[in-house]
Amino acid sequence: MLMQHKATRIYNARILTPDGWIENGSLLIKNGTITQISTSEPNVEDDSVGLEHVDACGGLLLPGFIDIHVHGGGGYDAMLGNVDQIQGMCRFHASNGTTSLLATTLTATHEEIITALECAAQSMKIEREPDGANLLGVHLEGPFLNAARCGAQNPADLREPSIEEFDAFWSASQGTIKLMTIAPELNHAEEVIRHAVHKGVVISLGHTDADFETMQRATEWGASQVTHLFNGMKPLHHREPGAAGGSLMLDQLAVEVICDGIHVHPSLIKWAFDIKPEGKVLLITDSMCAAGCPDGEYVLGKLPVIMKQGKVYLKQEDGTEGGLAGSSLTMIEALANAVKFTGMDVADLVPALTIHPATQIGVHDSKGTIELGKDADLIIVNEHFKVLQTFVQGHQVYACAD
């Protein structure tokens, strides 16, 4: 990104650091990175000329959220093969606390996926001052999924894993595929998983009818994640733990959770936090284009959907509501819901939206926590979980108008 660097000091903030809260803290940003974190009130007279001051008004200063599974939002769709669509969804999600994201694809024809991947790669190369969330790469969700658990993925375009097709996707993305969802029980899944892992792609098991033993084997092949826990997978059974049981019991697997209280019961969300090891619960949105938009009819891929009271459903041929089809969730809502559902402290939950996904996709050295030398990807939030300001690499990309 092309940026005109300027220095900014954020003060009068409760700053969340890996070591805990800093009360009445201030933070200095230079050249897009965090250069100073102070526990005292800044002396404005000592600051250099041209330094911009931002009063956090006692709000929470948090690391920006990293959404590794998001299809769209604000009316924008990552699959439309248009840079403006990508940038639009990045601006929308920045207004809800997301400072980095992976544009997530859907099952479609080979040509449609290629176009979406080329668009994402093109968007990442454009040199500009940040005006929304930073696009870190692509989450390839589909087409290597099981029709028995396809959910809102178009069954007509599902197909078996192929190294040749994966390589075509990899080339179109210019090596920006960071994460891939795949059903491990499909023919040739092992070869494709091992091949993708060798290229540095994180493998997430999802839209799968795999049994427990197959989930175990997939971890040996290199899988390290599960896509939207409990959704699009074989459920837990006391005689066959299935994909859901494997997701929970295999400690090496991080699990994505759609924390809207619709896709997963609140008590099960609490349970996931209780039983998974530290760092292995990742809050995502799985939001589609209708997030932030009025209720009505939309399209997810080629499938018509209906959004009512924020719930997104497939539209059946008779016009009635079918299964869930993505979400209208935002990351700040996910955090607020997680606090409500689990009773955990904000400080203990924020890592599930920040450093844990950053670690999962390998960007934890520069993102995910408020520490010296890291990117100044920050949000200011009030006590009601309202995003007041968002900063991406030190640039204010959103400010609440109220």
Answer yes or no: is 325 a known binding residue. Answer: yes
Nearest by Cα to 377 from 396, 389, 364, 392: 392
Answer yes or no: is 228 a known binding residue. Answer: yes
| Dist. CA 372–CA 378, nearest whole Å | 13
CA 359 → CA 210, 274, 364, distances in Å?
A: 26, 20, 5
Answer yes or no: is 263 a known binding residue. Answer: yes
Answer yes or no: is 93 a known binding residue. Answer: no
Rounded to 5°, angle at Cα 311 from 328 and 388: 35
Answer yes or no: is 335 a known binding residue. Answer: no
Nearest by Cα to 37 from 348, 378, 389: 378
Q: Which residues are catalytic?
A: 286
Q: Which residues partner with 298 through β-bridges?
A: 305
List CB contacts of 239: < 8 A, sequence separation 6 or more: none
- Encoded tokens for 113: 């996926």
First to last CA, the chain: 30
| Dist. CA 171–CA 163, nearest whole Å | 12
| Dist. CA 241–CA 48, nearest whole Å | 61
Answer yes or no: is 239 a known binding residue. Answer: yes
**Do you find a cis peptide bond into 143, omega within 30 degrees of 0?**
yes
Answer yes or no: is 53 a known binding residue. Answer: no
Summarize the annotated binding site for substrate as residue ranges: 152, 231-232, 239, 263, 324-326
Summarize the annotated binding site for Zn(2+) as residue ranges: 141, 207, 228
Summarize the annotated binding site as residue ranges: 141, 152, 207, 228, 231-232, 239, 263, 324-326
